[in-house]
Structure 1
Amino acid sequence: MRWTLPNTLTALRLLAAPGVAVMFLYFSRPLADWFALVLFVSAAVTDWFDGYIARAWGQETKMGAMLDPIADKAMVIIALMVIVGYSSMSPWLVLPATFILFREVFVSGLREFLGDVAGTLKVTKLAKWKTTFQMIAIATLFAQGVFEHYLAVTIEDLDSATISAILSGRAEDIHGLGWKEAGMTWTGHLGLTLLWVAATLTLVTGWDYFVKALPLLRED
C-alpha cells in the first residue's frame, strides 16, 4: 500500500466519520454540534481535494479507489444516524434518510456480490452530484442543530408572553431571539430540501446501477 497524500487524506476522512458521533458522547451541546459541523465540513472538503490531487499528481492507487467510497458512505451514514437520533423523528427527515441508507446498503451488497466485475460499472457524474448534495444537506442540518440549541437556551428563562412579544416585534429583542429563530428555521428548511434532493438522486443512481448490473445477475 502506498501512503500518498491523497490516500492519507482519505484515511483521515474515514477516521473522521465515527468522530462525528463521538463528539456528542464527550461534549455537551452546542459545543458538540460545532465540533461535529467543523469535523464534517473539513472531511467533506478533503473528499474533493484527495481526488483532485490524486489525478493531478498521478497518484491514483488501488488503496485510494477502495477507501474513497467507503469513507464517503461512512461519513454520510454515521452523520445521518446522529442527526436522526437528535431529531424529533419527523417523517420529512426520517424518510429521505431511510432512502439514502437503503440505497447505500443495497448497492454495497450488490457490489460485494459482483466482486471484481463491479469495477466495470463506472461511477456516473450524477452519482458524484448525489454525494455533493448529501454532504451539503448534512452540514446544513448540523448548522440547524447549533441554532436550535442556542434558541432553546435563550428561551429557557423566558415566559411564552415575552417570547411572543419579542418575535412579533412588540418588545426589544435583547436576547437575539429573532436571528436565532430565523437561523434555525432557514437552515432546517434548506437542509431538508437538500436532503430530499439528495435522496431523489440517491434512488435514481441506485436504480441506474441495478439496471446496469442486471445482465451480470442472469443465470447461465
Structure 2
Amino acid sequence: MRWTVPNILTLLRLLAAPGVAIMFLYFSRPLADWFALLLFGAAAATDWIDGYLARAWKQETKFGTMLDPIADKAMVVIALLVITGFSGMNPWILLPATVILFREVFVSGLREFLGDTAGLLKVTKLAKWKTTAQMVALSVLFSQGIFEHFFVMQTLGMEPGLIADILAGREEDVLGIGWKHQGMLVTWWGGVICLWLAAALTLLTGFDYFRKALPFLKEEARA
C-alpha cells in the first residue's frame, strides 16, 4: 500500500463517516448540526479532490480504487441513518433512504458473488452522478436541521396565532423567524427533491449493474 496524498484523503473520508453520527452524541443541537454539516461537507469535497489528484499526479493505486467506494458508501449510509432518525422516520426521507440502502446492499452482494469477475461492475459516470446527488441531498438536509432548530427554539411558547401573523407580515418580525422559517422550508424540500433524485439514479445504476452481472447468474444447462 502506498501512502499517497489521494489515499490519505480517502482514508480520512472513511474515518469521517462515523464522526457525523458521533457529533450528535457529544454536542447539543444546533452545534451538532453545524459540526456534522461541516464534517460531511469537507469529507464529500475530498471525494472529488482525491480522484482529481490521483489522476493528475498519476498516483492511482489498487488500495485507493478499493477504498474510495467503501468510504463513499460509509458516509452516505451513516448520514442517512442520522437524518432518518432526526426526521422522525418521515416517509419523504424514509422511502428514498430505503431504496438507496437496498441498492448498496444488493450491489455489494453482486460484487461478492462475482468474485474475480466483479471487475465488470466498474463505477460508471452515472454512478458518480448518483453519489454526487446523494451527498448534495444529505448536506442540504443537515443544513435544514439548523434552520429548524433556531425556528423552533425562537417560537417556543409563542401563541400559534402570533406566529402565523408574523409569518404573514401582519406583525413585526423582531427575531427574524420569517427568514428562518423560509430557510427551513427551502432546505427541506430542496433536500427531499435531491434525495429522491439520488434514489432514482441509485435504482438506475443498480439495474445497470444487475444487467451486466446477469450472464454470470444463469444456471449451466445440464446434459
Q: TM-score if structure 2 supplies the norm length?
A: 0.97
**Any idea what SS the aligned residue of 2:29 has?**
coil
For structure 2, the residue ranges without an aligned partner over 5 or more in a row are none
Distance 2:148 2:15 in 1: 27
What residue number does 1:85 align with?
A: 85
What residue number does 1:66 align with?
A: 66
What residue number does 2:197 align with?
A: 197
What residue number does 2:178 align with?
A: 178
What residue number does 2:34 align with?
A: 34
The Cα shift of 1:157 comes to 3.2
Q: TM-score if structure 1 supplies the norm length?
A: 0.98
**What do the CA deviations read for 1:193-217 (whole angstroms, capped 9, x no partner)?**
0000000000010011001001112
**What do the CA deviations read for 1:140-196 (whole angstroms, capped 9, x no partner)?**
000100100011111113222221221111111011110000000000000000000
Q: How does 1:96-107 map to 2 (within 5 A)?
A: 96-107=96-107
**Any idea what SS the aligned residue of 1:219 has?**
coil
For structure 1, the residue ranges without an aligned partner over 5 or more in a row are none
What residue number does 1:156 align with?
A: 156
What is the identity percentage for the equivalent residue pairs of Structure 1 and Structure 2? 69
**Any idea what SS the aligned residue of 2:42 has?**
helix
Provide the aligned length of Structure 1 versus Structure 2. 220
Distance 1:109 1:23 in 2: 31
Distance 2:24 2:123 in 1: 34
Distance 2:95 2:209 in 1: 21
The Cα shift of 1:122 comes to 2.3
